[in-house]
Amino acid sequence: MFRRAFWFTSGVAAGVWATTKVNRQLNKLKPESLALQAADRAVLAGRRVKLFALDVRDGMAHREAALKDALGLSAGPEPERRELPEQRRLVALEQQHPYHSLTRKEDH
């Protein structure tokens, strides 16, 4: 008698558990639930994009400060005008922009 009651109770419990699982899955597939899931995921994606943008902005500011320090352009009381070393200055003056010749009037 106890054996039958045990198996009957086990069967009822398994049936209730399976019915509950199936009903939960069916509720997840309703249009209202799908819309809520999509909205939640969109909000989460927006937050992730915002955090990524803030990280990029912080990284850019850090890199810009490092480059300014490396080039000696860090903000002081009054920035002094620095000239390029002689060799580099001459090379920079001798080089012309590739489109410079197209904009001159005598070439037209």
Name the pTM for this structure: 0.45
Report d(CA 73, CA 35) in Å as an integer: 53
Report d(CA 21, CA 31) in Å as an integer: 18
Average pLDDT, the chain: 81
| C-beta neighbour count of 73 within 10 angstroms | 13
**What confidence tier does 28 reach under pLDDT thresholds 50, 70, 90?**
confident
H-state helical runs in 29-99? 31-71, 86-94
Who wins on pLDDT, 86 or 100?
A: 86
Q: Are 32 and 26 contacting, i.e. CB atoms less than 8 angstroms apart? A: no
Helix (H, G, I), strand (E, B) or coil at 80: coil
**What confidence tier does 108 reach under pLDDT thresholds 50, 70, 90?**
very low
Q: What pLDDT does residue 88 have?
A: 53
Report d(CA 12, CA 9) in Å as an integer: 5
